[in-house]
Structure 1
Amino acid sequence: MSELHNHADRVLSVVESSSAAALSRLAASWRRSLVRHGIDPATVQGPQRLTQRELNVLVESNDSFLRSATPRVDNLYALVGQSGCAVLLTDARGIVLQHRVNDGDAEVFSDWGLWSGGNWSEEAEGTNGIGTCLAERRRVTIHRDDHFIARNTGLSCMDAPIFGPNGQLLGALDVSSARSDQTEGFNQLISAMVEQTARQIETDFFRATFPKARIIVAGDDTREGSLLAVDQDDLVVGATRLARAALDLPTEGELRPIPAVDLLGRSEESPKGFEGAERAAVMRALSRADGNVSAAAKALGIGRATMYRRMKRLGISEKSH
């Protein structure tokens, strides 16, 4: 028990200090945990858990995300599971949706609360891999004494955020270990695998969300997961979070269709045939005019009535752009 109080005292000392350590990202998370969330670092109360009924509802509401994520979670567990690690996938609030753990380690991780239904938000558990990753929207490793709550200092947690097809935060991918001999060097290797798997989940979910679109790399950005979805009219209708950052697009939300040539500075593969090219030209004009038919007609050098006739012939409604 004295070790728990020693850690709690250290946390409070750093939070209240003006030293360099108190200016670190870790200290900022500790400060949020204490000041904003009102958590006692010496608490012995276990993690909050959803009821099975509540968890079932949450899992069902995340069905499409889980369909894309599950194979990647399984692959990651196959790589790290035999070393005594658990793999967890959470929603954007830090609630564990899925867990993977060896039968021999199940009781240990269940006791820790690293289990489906567990709440590992920073608001509930203070500084921890899942919660801090979600709060700061970045890859983190929280190794043992980095945790805010003293009872969690036996854990090492490596996490990466997962962003959805519209740039929104979906959840976190976590690998946790309760081994006392877990080294920081080994944590770094696992952290790289977690990051790579998170980006693969994003890519898989993005492709599943735009099944009829061409998926292309965002300009010269060669990072895995920097992708655009381009429809049959050469309009960009979707972009991953990395692509949005590379092309200075809105960070989150559905994209207003944008001509691919306007974003990339070059024409992608054009629709085949004269009618396909004409349709693409009309759709690009409408997109650039933000749906204003008169402005689009003027840009194409035709009259408004002619524009409407072309739209009707090509099957383009005023709401289809």
Structure 2
Amino acid sequence: MRRSVERVTDQNIRELRSQMEEVLFESGSITEHLRHVARDADYCLLLSDATGIVVQGYADTSASREMAEEGLATGSRWSESAIGTNGIGTCIVSRRPVTVAGHAHYNHTLKGFTCTAAPIFAPDGSVMAVLDFSGRSVANSSECSFAQHIVRQAAQSISTALFRKCHQNSCIVALSREPEAMPLALNALVATDETGRLLGATQDALSFLGVAELADLGGLHIQDLWRIALDELKPLSSHNVRLSGTDGSNFYVTTFLPKKKTRSSSAPSGKAQQKARSNFKSEPLELDRVAGSDPKMRRNVELCRKLLDRDIPLLLLGETGVGKDTFARAIHLESNRSQKPYVAVNCAAIPDTLLASELFGYAPGTFTGGLKAGRVGKIAASNGGTLFLDEIGDMPIDLQAHLLRVLEEREVSPLGASAPIPVDVRIISATHRELPQLVEAGRFRRDLYYRIKGAQVNISPLRERSDIAELVQRVIEDEQGAEGAEIRIAPEVHDLFASYRWPGNIRELRNVMRWILSVHSDPVITLDHLPEELLARPENPQRGRVHLASDAASEPPADATLEHACERIEREKIIDALTVTKWCITAAAADLGISRATLHRKIRKYEILSPNQKV
């Protein structure tokens, strides 16, 4: 049989991507890793929906792009009914990983391909997507085995991540045949409510349960399968225990209980699950979430939206940690390039000797010890999409001329190549440096500066934003999912956050909140939960506080009241305790017989600063 590969319309693709938003998001980091593998092997990487339509295809080399033109591309239809035996279609029907090579394809036009595909399962056990690795047909069985292994592992990881996300409010029982297995890396998982009633299981767990399909688990409890109640496993949470299956074989289970789960919420309601999915899909990438409610950031968003699909380079300015990469990614996601690659390069993090090959790539045989097939540079890899050049102020001056040529001529010349490659790339640059000063000092090309400064956006440091409380709550919900809505911040913590200088900006805020949420499980975050270094560092040097060294010398006015005199004595006692303990808050609080939170409140009340804090 000979039949060309059918393609669906762009509108169909957009609709399918919208329906598959969850799996596309969850598979993002995994497919990005697979793209590197596919690039080195001249393979195409495809992700299809449950009907066999490719919703996302990657072809990052000239050889793979040729295959994409022959049908291995976004929008192609690979169901068995449409094209006969093939990797994706046969995988959907068989519900298992398959490799279809050469003449095994029913359609003779595909005999030049070897296609390896693996199913991605939804939490309910249905096939919701297929991951496919396709290349030219070869007789090398080891190459086929490698493709089978990597695609199967990737599909399993995505399926497991989707299962964990769906059952984030359930008890998770991880299963293994090995006593020393790492539970968090296992793919054989069972979800239960707090009574032990089975709610679901991954495909890898079915053999442990002695059933062929998830439907066979309806109404069963853990005790029905293994003669042990879930309550007997709960005290062993995070530690495995050996059990015997119905066939007499031994295996090991590790039970993980949901965080902050109460007895009254053993089974998440439909509304709760819907809210969890909504939070899951609303990562802080879109411009509205990046901007928050801060007026200046809202004006930045209005400007960027006017320029979204205009061919105008953007220059983002701001201190380290303000979220320039997040802002650039949000611009990409809202533009008409959103389905094309977003490639970020930190010019300050790559050694000067490697930055050229990283950006421009190199041709085969250019370097001794380099990749035999050469390397695709970041500029070419972002073709059709967005290239984010972070810390462009640190780019070596000799490379700036090459970048300027790319911007002006819209083509890139890999190192050692004889001909340039046309590229269509949206450039977004960012820096925390003062580029005009670098231009005057001869460290940054004037012509490049005006080329990348098509429009300039100044991103506010965190200390100047008016929506810090909103950002804190968003970080909590990002980290904790639906449970984050139940966590509250004490007013004194909000006050401290509002006055703190945040030298690390949003990056520091996120790390602080991650630390608090990892170490403490209380529903209200108070000063006692904050890391010591945050409390000990200065807030705002313009607040008019008095240096500790002069505190003891100050005398109360002659007409001081009894209350003022008591406060002065208390202040001196606190200063003495802090001095003796060398500003160890915990030790000073213990000496004074008060809590750390109370001591911090009094330090702020009396405007006491340590000797090494600048006025």
TM-score by length of 1: 0.65
What residue is the counterpart of 1:140 in the other structure? Answer: 98
1:232 Cα deviation from its structure 2 partner? 3.1
Aligned pairs (5 A) from 1:39-118? 41=1, 43=2, 45-105=3-63, 107-118=65-76
What residue is the counterpart of 1:235 in the other structure? Answer: 197
SS of corresponding position for 1:225: coil
Determine if the alignment matches structure 1 residue 267 to structure 2 residue 224. Answer: no
Aligned partner of 2:126 among 168, 185, 191: 168
Q: Which moved more, 1:182-191 or 1:114-123?
A: 182-191
1:225 Cα deviation from its structure 2 partner? 2.0
SS of corresponding position for 1:110: helix
- Checking the alignment, whether the CA contact within 8 Å between 2:194 and 2:230 is kept in structure 1 is no
CA 1:182 to 1:56, structure 2 compared with 1: closer, same or farther past 3 Å? farther
Aligned partner of 2:187 among 213, 225, 233: 225
Deviations 1:254-273 (A, max 9, x none): 96454323333323356999
Deviations 1:50-103 (A, max 9, x none): 101011111111112222222222222222321101111111111112112215
SS of corresponding position for 2:146: helix
Aligned pairs (5 A) from 1:31-46? 41=1, 43=2, 45-46=3-4
- The one-letter amino acid of 2:189's match is L
1:231 Cα deviation from its structure 2 partner? 2.7
SS of corresponding position for 1:217: strand
- Checking the alignment, whether the CA contact within 8 Å between 2:39 and 2:61 is kept in structure 1 is no
Give, in whole Å, the separation in 2 of the partners of 1:52 and 1:65: 19
1:181 Cα deviation from its structure 2 partner? 4.9
What residue is the counterpart of 2:167 in the other structure? Answer: 210
CA 1:148 to 1:260, structure 2 compared with 1: closer, same or farther past 3 Å? same
Sequence identity (%): 28
Structure 1: give runs of 5+ residues left out of the alignment.
1-40, 274-313
What residue is the counterpart of 2:284 in the other structure? Answer: none
SS of corresponding position for 1:116: coil
- Checking the alignment, whether the CA contact within 8 Å between 1:238 and 1:254 is kept in structure 2 is no
Determine if the alignment matches structure 1 residue 190 to structure 2 residue 147. Answer: yes
SS of corresponding position for 2:47: strand
Aligned partner of 1:199 among 152, 156, 160: 156
Give, in whole Å, the separation in 1 of the partners of 2:216 and 2:12: 29
1:238 Cα deviation from its structure 2 partner? 1.6
SS of corresponding position for 2:73: coil
SS of corresponding position for 1:238: strand
- Checking the alignment, whether the CA contact within 8 Å between 2:200 and 2:214 is kept in structure 1 is no
1:208 Cα deviation from its structure 2 partner? 0.9
1:182 Cα deviation from its structure 2 partner? 5.9
CA 1:217 to 1:315, structure 2 compared with 1: closer, same or farther past 3 Å? closer
- Checking the alignment, whether the CA contact within 8 Å between 2:26 and 2:158 is kept in structure 1 is yes
Give, in whole Å, the separation in 2 of the partners of 1:229 and 1:252: 12
SS of corresponding position for 2:230: coil
Structure with bigger RCO (C-alpha 8 Å, 6+ apart) = 1
Give, in whole Å, the separation in 1 of the partners of 2:73 and 2:38: 17
CA 1:316 to 1:149, structure 2 compared with 1: closer, same or farther past 3 Å? closer
TM-score by length of 2: 0.35
CA 1:146 to 1:53, structure 2 compared with 1: closer, same or farther past 3 Å? same
Aligned partner of 1:244 among 191, 206, 211: 206
1:188 Cα deviation from its structure 2 partner? 1.1
SS of corresponding position for 2:158: helix
- The one-letter amino acid of 1:132's match is T
- Checking the alignment, whether the CA contact within 8 Å between 1:219 and 1:264 is kept in structure 2 is no
CA 1:63 to 1:173, structure 2 compared with 1: closer, same or farther past 3 Å? same
The alignment covers a number of residue pairs equal to 237
CA 1:316 to 1:81, structure 2 compared with 1: closer, same or farther past 3 Å? closer
Give, in whole Å, the separation in 2 of the partners of 1:160 and 1:271: 34
- Checking the alignment, whether the CA contact within 8 Å between 1:158 and 1:190 is kept in structure 2 is yes
Question: Computing the radius of gyration over CA atoms, which structure comes out larger, 1 or 2?
Answer: 2
1:47 Cα deviation from its structure 2 partner? 0.8
Structure 2: give runs of 5+ residues left out of the alignment.
236-262, 270-615
